[in-house]
Amino acid sequence: MTAINIATDIPSQIDTLEKLHMWSALALFAINPSITVIEGVGYTERAAQAGTFWVQADAKTRGIFRASLEISPDYLSGSNKPWTYAQPISNTALPASFKAN
């Protein structure tokens, strides 16, 4: 599991849920670019993906992010919040570049 310290690892410029989501998705992709997971019979996909795309229809650049996270089967009977059951993709440390503003 890539551990983070909420007080020191998340840059102070992240002040919205959208920025936090983009930061997290980019960090997962940066440290796990080639890890694949099984998502169905005969179907694998990268565990974390992130990209920026120009959308001509509305003339805007969009960040499109995808993560495929294993979830502990304990979520079915546990009383914790759903995100507490997410399993690690890897044990790769968060790069320093993601901790700085």
Task: Quote the pLDDT of residue 84.
Answer: 95
* 2 domain-assigned: no
* 50 domain-assigned: yes
* 40 domain-assigned: yes
* 101 domain-assigned: no
Encode pLDDT of 7-48 as tens digits.
999 999 999 999 999 999 999 999 999 999 999 999 999 999
Structural domain span for residue 43: 17-89
Q: Which of 67, 68, 2, 72 is nearest to 38 (CA)?
A: 68
Q: Is residue 1 over pLDDT 90? A: no
* 4 domain-assigned: no
* 9 domain-assigned: no
In whole angstroms, give the CA distance from residue 63 to residue 53: 6
* 46 domain-assigned: yes
pTM of the predicted model over 0.85? yes
Identify the band that residue 5 occupies on the pLDDT scale cut at 50, 70 and 90. very high
| Beta-strand runs (E) in the chain | 36-40, 43-46, 48-55, 60-67
Percent of the chain with pLDDT over 70: 100
CA 55 to chain centre: 22
Q: Tokens in use for 33? A: 């670019």
Q: Report whether 50 contacts 63 (CB < 8 A).
A: yes
